[in-house]
Amino acid sequence: MIDESTTLNEPKLKGMYNYVHIDEKWFHMKKNEQTYYLLDNEEDPHRSCQSKNNIEKVMFLAATTRPRFDGEGRVVFSGKVGYWAFVTEQPAPRNSRNMRAGTMEMKVVTSVKRKNVKAFFIEKSKRGSIGATGDCWHGPGHGWMLRRDMRTIGRGLGTSGARGWAAGSAPGR
């Protein structure tokens, strides 16, 4: 992306310091076959899934940005913003031999849509886990652009919704 403030004779690219690139990846919670290296006194891990067809998938969302260096070339910020799973905590509805009723258990969010991703980032920003990190990159008052390959995260994620975060498509697409 070309910086509009540079001259036409010598155009320069933007620093893109305020862009956060996100991507999602689905993982199986357990593999069908797994190799374990155990000591003699260790037991095999317990698997509570009765069929390999019942193994759930979970979506992870990764966010990275351009790394920051000081004047001497040392890394100040690695560029890794975070890596989050789309899960919710819910109380167990009834007793079983594995857990009692009311015990908090993690449930996978099976349907992740654009509005879920948007709400997820707004929630993380309100909690401060993303917003506070963003302030230390450039200082408060700078706008941040969330970029996702070939898609927008969602309309309406402007500065009023999430502490200066906005959404957009990847450059050049």
Confidence check: pLDDT of 10 > 50: yes
d(CA 82, CA 28): 20
CA-based nearest residue to 19, from 142, 118, 123: 142
pLDDT at 72 (0 to 100): 93
Mean pLDDT of 128-139: 53
> Each residue of 24-40: pLDDT tens digit?
888 877 766 677 788 88
CA-based nearest residue to 118, from 106, 128, 126, 110: 126
pLDDT at 32 (0 to 100): 62
Categorize the per-residue pLDDT at 160 as very low, low, confident or very high, splitting at 50, 70 and 90: very low
- Cβ partners under 8 Å of residue 123, min gap 6: none
Strand-pair category, 75-77 with 68-69: antiparallel
> Each residue of 49-76: pLDDT tens digit?
667 677 778 888 888 888 888 889 998 8
CA-based nearest residue to 105, from 97, 93, 117: 93
Place of tokens 């893109």: 16
Neighbours of 122 (CB within 10 A): 18
* 116 token code pair: 């879920």
Confidence check: pLDDT of 96 > 80: yes
